[in-house]
Amino acid sequence: MSMGAGLPDSPRLTRPTPAPAPGIVHLGPGAFFRAFNAVYTDEAIAAAGGDWGIIAVSLRSPTARDQLAPQGGAYTSVTLSETGMEPQVIGAIREVLVAPEDPGAVLAAMSDPAIRIVSLTITEKGYCHAPSSGALLPDHPDIQHDLAAPDAPRSAIGFIVSALARRRAAGHAPFTVLSCDNLPGNGALARGVISDFARRRDPDLANWIAETVRFPATMVDRITPATTPERVAALAEITGYHDPACVFHEDFRQWVIEDDFTAGRPRWDLAGAQFVANVDAHETMKLRCLNGTHSALAYLGYLAGHDTISAAVADPVMARFVRHLWEAEILPTVPRPEGEDLPAYCASLMARYRDPSIRHLTWQIAMDGSQKLPQRLLGTIRDRRAVGQTPEGLCLAVAAWMRYVGGRDETGAEIDVRDPLAEALRAASEGATSPEETVDALLGFEAIFGTDLPADAGFRSALTLQYERLLSLGASGAVAVLLGQ
């Protein structure tokens, strides 16, 4: 094997400069964090200095630690475009801890007064909440465990509350909790579940958190496809080193942050972040316009045989469907954020979707749909129903999710459904004997749909019609009928 072939026997990437002293603990060091938060932080430190190095904490798997530790925490962030790859070595990560191996070490790091921010990219399911309401699930196994074993927590919520309790007991100031997940009102959501958990543990601690801890909201945006062995090898061809921790992403990025921090922050603005008084409008724009159509394309595209978003929108029918969603169903519910042109924003999204170099898998976006649907699709549906409108295209997208979680595609092939509720959803689907029963069974998941949508006869009827069309016409045929083709 030659090193020039970009194989794992190439020399490993090594850290080019000393790691900065830590000021941030980040929970969830997956690909998005490495393609986004850590890049902004690295560039902010380069521009303005400061002890803002990152201690990254994996709450489950040792993979990130095993990839990053031999490289001193450094890795390559790679911008993809039709002209090739643009690598950038990121050195903001000082250390990687694996929580299940040593929860005490994680709590010690978070309790250190030098840590001023604890940030999160733990995905929707990491908040142990009911997606339909945002409320903490007190019966969640990790929550039950963490209330009983506060010195060896499993969940992000348990770690944050235990670390804040230690800081309070030691007389140290709290850290800021910075949620960077794709959730509406992510700061308020984090505050709610953390406060509820703390109240169940110690009401005085909960009061201290309410009085002293800041939970700024954020909007994050950068498409980050899964890293593949082929791309790792291609990067090694370019750079001459092997980097199993590398991440790949589009050139576009946007980070809008509510400027509400307890003890300072990096100069992320010098790396292009936008600090604002209120994130809500930007957040709604992104969740509904980008994430909503991404999910619609994920389920309908997958069922129609498209493996990537770029392949899906290369299908003229699917591209026209997305434009219909934006123009007729989504944009009427989106308040215009300051400085944004909503039609131009949607046009830029379509250009991003069309980029074949990104290869964002429909299967990847389809993961954890039970957690994503409420904020990406169902909120928009509720708003349209509130003014007497029935958003048929969004109903078709939800129906496509219902067919997808049934576990069989249009050819009868097995679908590898990755979702916290996968088994229960499939059982409910398989237990039904008609389209109406299937829709009713899946609408019965209150954590997803709440109680209002299942009781809405107009929504239920539209959803059932679209599900029947999927069964009889397939995804492409159902979209064509909806568009009047």
CATH number of the domain that residue 407 is part of:
1.10.1040.10
**Domain boundary, last residue among 276, 307, 341:** 276
pLDDT at residue number 3: 35
Same domain as 181, residue 262: yes
**Measured distance CA(474)–CA(338) in Å, rounded:** 40
Same domain as 217, residue 158: yes
- Tokens 């980029």: give the residue: 355
Tell me the residue length of the chain.
Answer: 485
* DSSP 3-state of 134: coil
Cα dist from 81 to 84, 248, 354, whole Å: 5, 10, 11
Residue 287 lies in a domain: no
What DSSP character marks residue 307? -
pTM: 0.93
Q: Are 316 and 271 in contact (CB under 8 A)?
A: no
Residue 404 lies in a domain: yes
Contacts of 27 (CB under 8 A, 6+ apart): 57, 59, 118, 119, 120, 121, 122, 126, 156, 159
Residue 473 lies in a domain: yes
Give the tens place of pLDDT for each residue, 178-232. 999 999 999 999 999 999 999 999 999 999 999 999 999 999 999 999 999 999 9
Same domain as 268, residue 413: no
pLDDT at residue number 339: 85
Same domain as 270, residue 380: no
Number of domains the chain is built from: 2
334: alpha, beta or left? (left if phi > 0; alpha if psi -120 to 50) = beta
- The helix (run of H) or strand (run of E) holding residue 362 is helix 362-366
Q: Are 17 and 90 in contact (CB under 8 A)?
A: no
- Tokens 């944050």: give the residue: 160
Give the tens place of pLDDT for each residue, 360-373. 999 999 999 999 99
Same domain as 434, residue 358: yes
Q: Are 312 and 362 in contact (CB under 8 A)?
A: yes
Residue 98 pairs in a beta bridge with 58
Distance of CA 463 to the CA centre of its chain: 26
**Domain boundary, last residue among 276, 307, 342:** 276
**Measured distance CA(27)–CA(157) in Å, rounded:** 10
What DSSP character marks residue 99? T
Same domain as 272, residue 159: yes
pLDDT at residue number 8: 52
Residue 347 lies in a domain: yes
**Measured distance CA(127)–CA(28) in Å, rounded:** 12
Provide the domain limits for residue 270.
3-276
Same domain as 272, residue 307: no
Low-confidence ranges of the chain (pLDDT < 50): 1-6
**Measured distance CA(290)–CA(465) in Å, rounded:** 25
Going by C-alpha positions, the residue among 480, 287, 310, 301 that lies closest to residue 403 is 301
Q: Are 414 and 408 in contact (CB under 8 A)?
A: yes
Residue 283 lies in a domain: no
Same domain as 155, residue 71: yes
Q: How many Å is the maximal CA-CA distance in the chain?
A: 67
Going by C-alpha positions, the residue among 37, 149, 164, 144 that lies closest to residue 103 is 149
**HSE of 143 in the Cβ direction (CA atoms, 13 Å)?**
21
Instruction: Report phi then psi at 348, rounded to 5.
Output: -70, -35
* DSSP 3-state of 259: coil
pLDDT at residue number 4: 37
Same domain as 384, residue 264: no
pLDDT at residue number 82: 86
Residue 291 lies in a domain: no
**HSE of 150 in the Cβ direction (CA atoms, 13 Å)?**
13
Same domain as 345, residue 242: no
**Measured distance CA(29)–CA(104) in Å, rounded:** 19
CATH of the domain at 229: 3.40.50.720
**Domain boundary, last residue among 276, 311, 346:** 276
Same domain as 136, residue 17: yes
Residue 434 lies in a domain: yes
Instruction: Report phi then psi at 293, rounded to 5.
Output: -75, -30
**Measured distance CA(283)–CA(274) in Å, rounded:** 13
Residue 443 lies in a domain: yes
* DSSP 3-state of 423: helix
**HSE of 314 in the Cβ direction (CA atoms, 13 Å)?**
11
Look at strands 117-120 and 22-27 and give their pairing: parallel
What DSSP character marks residue 290? I
- Tokens 């709610």: give the residue: 192
Same domain as 271, residue 386: no
